[in-house]
Chains A and B, each alone.
Chain A
């Protein structure tokens, strides 16, 4: 055993290759299984320090700021996770763990949450993080004058108290068993505060990297923060730069020629060509990202559920998955909960293409055929217009005539989404069912894109939110997924994988799937081989 361990140590330090180790282990009489496990552990254990990491991201604009309430796309999110931290974190296996908080507990009705904070955490400007900073950071997103995207969700907080410098007590308006998950949202990093006001302007945080230079819409330069509280475990690169490269071809070229080490959003149509490049590795993760085609339940003809069901049955989802995503995704079952979520209802039958059943539903609503308009733009998701054209083909067999209207990308979210009767949209998804349902499916929610109002659903939503027993919760969420599937206004045909590429020089451990680019935490999780 000592001999074997000696060789394992050599492998860990890179003195011998995996193949050599396996050979030597076999010579020592060890089974391939054991040798393989040992090799895996040895290799995974050794992130190397140093190097300048360059990533090209296809999002970002000159309007980007350090204000976390306005964080929106991959660029600001990557910047957020590299330079700042949160009370909680979703780790690569999808489990919620503490980041700036070491632990938390709730009252029985889940209205009061007590978070214990990590001691001795330093901000980039030397200040030590304490409970006042946490309270100020949350307060930034609350109040009438706040422009934050989290304003609606954090309205539920009625009171925040510091119980000593390392404990924060949150009191909520109603019970929410998922509050610790909300604390991991990229919008609410912990910022340094002064007199109760969060100081966000300079980009200071507790993260592994501090901001050296920020040119909105162009680039971000970062340097490793020597007093990072995660020490050696994370943040292995010595420095990094983020380049905003909106043109996908330019990104791909830059990666192919070695100008950058990683790119986000690889083009799916040419992925098989990119794979041929021996210096590049394609990464793919299946998360909660999905595309939707919301019909307005408050507008004829979509106010009749028979019509909605007919439409849902008129799309060949398999074909869509094949053509739009080239198989890089999963089928959607007309509800937004993916296999990556805890309470995914796998028992619900997968909706399939059934033009005859669709015709039957149309007859139920007294129609022989139906003429509808759909308003699409690739601003919703890449290939949205193509999706409409495919849908038109498939739906023709049920007697549904869809007119595809192409809308301009510019101003889509203001003029088309949640305005026109039927359009397209996308969601990055949320880590918890309650969150996803609350933002987009609850009656009266700001982003209830299908304007759906189902009494039973709304009732269950509130009960399940406060329920701490996972079994009871699971049952409620399964029922709710069924309700969205069979009564809701959105056609949700596919879940889209996150597909990106990096140089083979970059290594990583198990990859998280909750967001793109390893939960957007690649900067602190990856290293150079």
Chain B
């Protein structure tokens, strides 16, 4: 256990270093884009005087490294700062958006993960049968279609034609859990269709891979049923790669859903990030990037810990 704790601590430290490097890159990246917040916010109405006045007001006329150091200092004290564009506390701004993003990710994950693993197990059980081929074709198709295409088709079928679900996810903070869940059904369904293929096929491949092992052959010779062999003997050993794939997809559900947010007009973090890059609102971009990077780092860490936890050889090394 001590070894595990040490590993976690080391990984967290590396994680912090990664966050720091990411923040430097983001700063440089946004700086090299043409224009800055003043020109972006004012657009066509800009005049040299008003641009200069806004820059002075927001401290944009200071050199980049000065602004960065100030931001870093504040961040290390837990203060994410204020949005340059509308002077709101970033923590408040991001708070609701992050909640929304996590909620959608959670609903999508709760549906997608068990479904993918089950389908994968069944596909391994009945490999090369018609069922196997059908499931593979369907999930590969859904992952190949662009997300917005899948989204629009779902809207057409379920919202416009059948009217079972709302066509946009009009959510506000006060909604109850089930109402919120109802309104995000179509985006969650879209995301499910998009991530299912990867997890299902990995589950299937990992299990089939193990089926060639001697101990499985032994279990078959002992006369066990196929389902018991797969679920009790093969699956536990296949967990490591499966967990890794699930985690990658979970991270995607949090970080990569901008398109779904746009199509369903869902106020999530992805849309905020894209919006902020357009307006060159650096503090918001930094804060969002930190959250996304942090999500990846934590999820990867969880995956590794779980991989070790499910592998007795790694858990109790001699």
Contact = CB atoms under 8 A, between A and B. Distances in A.
B15 interface: no
A191 B42 CA distance: 22
Contacts of A216: 85-86, 88
B176 interface: no
Interface stretch (A61-69, A171-179, A226-234): A61-69
Interface stretch (A2-10, A86-94, A142-150, A332-340): A142-150
A202 interface: no
A256 interface: yes
Interface stretch (B117-125, B161-169, B195-203, B207-215): B161-169
Nearest to B272: A62
B121 to A, nearest CB: 37
Interface in B261-293: 262-265, 267, 271-272, 275-276, 278-279, 281, 284
Contacts of B34: 410-411, 414-415
B66 interface: no
A100 B43 CA distance: 30
B45 A247 contact: no
B50 A147 contact: yes
B54 interface: yes
A247 B160 contact: no
Interface in A230-270: 243-247, 249-250, 253-254, 256-257, 259
B100 to A, nearest CB: 10
A218 B86 CA distance: 14
Q: Identify which of A147, A259, A410 gathers the most chain B CB atoms within 10 Å of its CB.
A: A147
B168 A259 contact: yes
B96 A215 contact: yes
Contact of A63 (B35, B41, B167): B41
Contacts of A50: none
Interface string B239-268: 000000000000000000000001111010
B225 interface: no
A245 B39 contact: no
B41 A70 contact: yes
A105 interface: no
A257 B186 CA distance: 14
A151 interface: yes
A213 B173 CA distance: 11
Given A148-B50, A446-B47, A257 B159 contact: yes
Contacts of A249: 152, 263
Contacts of B271: 217
B53 A147 contact: yes
Contacts of B88: 216
A149 B83 contact: no
Contact of B43 (A151, A413, A446): A413
Given A257-B166, A413-B39, A250 B50 contact: no
Contacts of A243: 168, 170, 265
The binding surface of chain A is classed by DSSP as: loop
B49 interface: yes
Contacts, number: 134
Contacts of B264: 250
Interface string B41-79: 111111111100110110000000000000000000000
A497 interface: no
A384 to B, nearest CB: 14
A217 B275 contact: yes
Nearest to A446: B47
A151 B47 contact: yes
A516 B43 CA distance: 19
Interface residues of B, number: 50
A259 B171 CA distance: 12
A206 interface: no
A24 interface: no
Q: Identify which of B170, B272, B278 gathers the most chain A CB atoms within 10 Å of its CB.
A: B170
B141 interface: no
Nearest to A379: B43
A219 interface: yes
Given A215-B267, A413-B43, A146 B86 contact: no
Interface in B16-38: 33-35, 37
A509 interface: no
A151 to B, nearest CB: 6
A83 interface: no
A245 B264 CA distance: 9
Given A218-B267, A249-B263, A253-B155, A410 B278 contact: yes
Contact of B35 (A245, A414, A425): A414
A147 B275 CA distance: 21
A139 to B, nearest CB: 15
B93 interface: yes
Contacts of A146: 50, 53
B46 A259 contact: no
Given A61-B275, A249-B152, A415-B35, A219 B172 contact: yes
A151 B39 contact: no
B40 interface: yes
Contacts of B284: 62
Given A247-B262, A250-B265, A254-B168, A411 B86 contact: no
A425 B262 contact: no
A187 B42 CA distance: 13
A165 interface: no
B87 interface: yes
A70 B44 contact: no
Contact of A72 (B35, B43, B85): B43
Interface of B: 33-35, 37, 39-50, 53-54, 56-57, 83, 85-88, 93, 96, 152, 155, 159-160, 163, 166-168, 170, 172, 262-265, 267, 271-272, 275-276, 278-279, 281, 284
16 contacts: A61-B275, A62-B276, A72-B45, A147-B42, A147-B54, A149-B45, A151-B47, A151-B49, A213-B172, A221-B172, A244-B265, A246-B265, A250-B167, A253-B160, A411-B34, A417-B44
Given A61-B275, A447-B47, 20 more contacts: A61-B85, A61-B278, A62-B86, A63-B40, A65-B87, A70-B41, A72-B45, A148-B50, A149-B50, A215-B172, A217-B267, A221-B172, A243-B168, A247-B265, A250-B167, A253-B167, A254-B265, A410-B33, A446-B48, A447-B45
